[in-house]
Amino acid sequence: MNRIAVRSVVGGLRSGQNCNSYISTAVPVRPLDGAEFLHSLKGDLSGGFYWTRMMSTVPQSAKTVEEWRESKSSVSDDAKKGSDRVVVSDYWGIYRPKITREDVSEWTWNCFMPWDTYKPDLSIDLSKHHVPKTFMDRFAYRTVKVLRMPTDIFFKRRYGCRAMMLETVAAVPGIVGGMVLHLRSLRKFQQSGGWVKALLEEAENERMHLMTMVELVQPMWYERLLVLVVQGVFFNAFFVLYLLSPKLAHRIVGYLEEEAIHSYTEYLKDIDSGKIENVQAPAIAIDYWRLPKDATLRNVITVIRADEAHHRDVNHYASDIQFQGKELREAPAPSDYH
């Protein structure tokens, strides 16, 4: 019986009956008797159950691939209108549906979606500081102070260039921490307590800071070269540090975020004093942080500073958990903290 069933399935696949169906979900409905089992070639056969196709890329009602493509052509054409990008084949059935804003205008960004946007909590306390108590705390604090010296010398009060450069580094700790915890979760067959997602979201948030700053300040060739060098050194150094001592790594990031708050506060002072022009906010910032249409550079720096304050709190919190002798997964990670 099993040999006959296998031959029937193989024959059906060779004849092309199922080669154009892409399954994303299947649910068992009922066991079949012998006759149904052998002739139910429109579904998958496994263990005597008929698996119905749910959310299939190709609808069951479509008799041919051509009919399916014709049914999708109107949607695909709408999605491609106004796009000057190269259109790839829809063989895989993957395309971007039309996404609109609340005012029904078309969503134009590919780097983030409407559900990724948010309004920052501007009421967060910017003055909080973790007072170094242990040798490791003091080491982390002094390390950050030493790292700040070359940036002060190189950038001075050019806070636009300074912010752009530092955001290329600020997005590294989250991705490194998330990667290490992700691999540890797989290796030990343990859940992460939500920390993998939290740290990756932090990295993505820092990257969006950079994408915003690039709209305001175009980096010079030597600044791009500096990014390559600094990022390469910092990534590898932080990766080794996170493997050796996650609590020290998070403490250093917490102090780095405290310095970021200070830098953005100085940035705002120069805007208020007129040393830096308070230009119109970039469109990417208006959509990402849900700012008003007439938002300015000052509004952008204010929300970025609030993000950095949240990152400060989360990383000091993560370090405190481990200083108490616990693993991060034992304390639930904060959600939607940025």
Tens of pLDDT along 85-101?
Answer: 556 666 777 777 888 88
Confidence bin at 45 (pLDDT 50/70/90): very low
More reliable by pLDDT, 333 or 210: 210
Q: Does residue 326 register a pLDDT over 60?
A: yes
Helices (H), ranges, the chain: 2-14, 34-39, 65-80, 135-155, 159-170, 172-188, 195-216, 221-244, 246-272, 283-288, 297-323
Domain that holds residue 268: 135-330
Question: Is residue 164 within 8 Å of residue 219, measured between CB atoms?
Answer: yes
More reliable by pLDDT, 201 or 48: 201
Domain annotation covers residue 93: no
DSSP for 10-72 reads HHHHHTTSSTT---SEEEEEEE--HHHHHH-TTSEEETTEEEEEES-SS-TT--SHHHHHHHH
Tens of pLDDT along 234-289?
Answer: 999 999 999 999 999 999 999 999 999 999 999 999 999 999 999 999 999 999 99
Confidence bin at 212 (pLDDT 50/70/90): very high
Domain annotation covers residue 91: no
Domain annotation covers residue 199: yes
Nearest to 114 by CA among 105, 97, 101: 101
Domain annotation covers residue 88: no
Pick from 122-131, 146-155, 201-210: least confident: 146-155
Domain annotation covers residue 181: yes
The position carrying tokens 């700012």 is 291
Given this model, what pLDDT does residue 241 score?
A: 96
Domain annotation covers residue 189: yes
Rounded (5°) CA angle 198-204-205: 85
Given this model, what pLDDT does residue 85 score?
A: 56
Given this model, what pLDDT does residue 184 score?
A: 94
More reliable by pLDDT, 8 or 254: 254
Question: How many structural domains comprise the chain?
Answer: 1
Domain annotation covers residue 251: yes
Q: Does residue 231 register a pLDDT over 80?
A: yes
- The CATH number that applies at residue 208 is 1.20.1260.140
Q: pTM here? A: 0.72
Given this model, what pLDDT does residue 307 score?
A: 95
Confidence bin at 70 (pLDDT 50/70/90): low
Sheet holding 25-31, edge to edge: 25-31, 49-54, 44-46
Domain annotation covers residue 193: yes
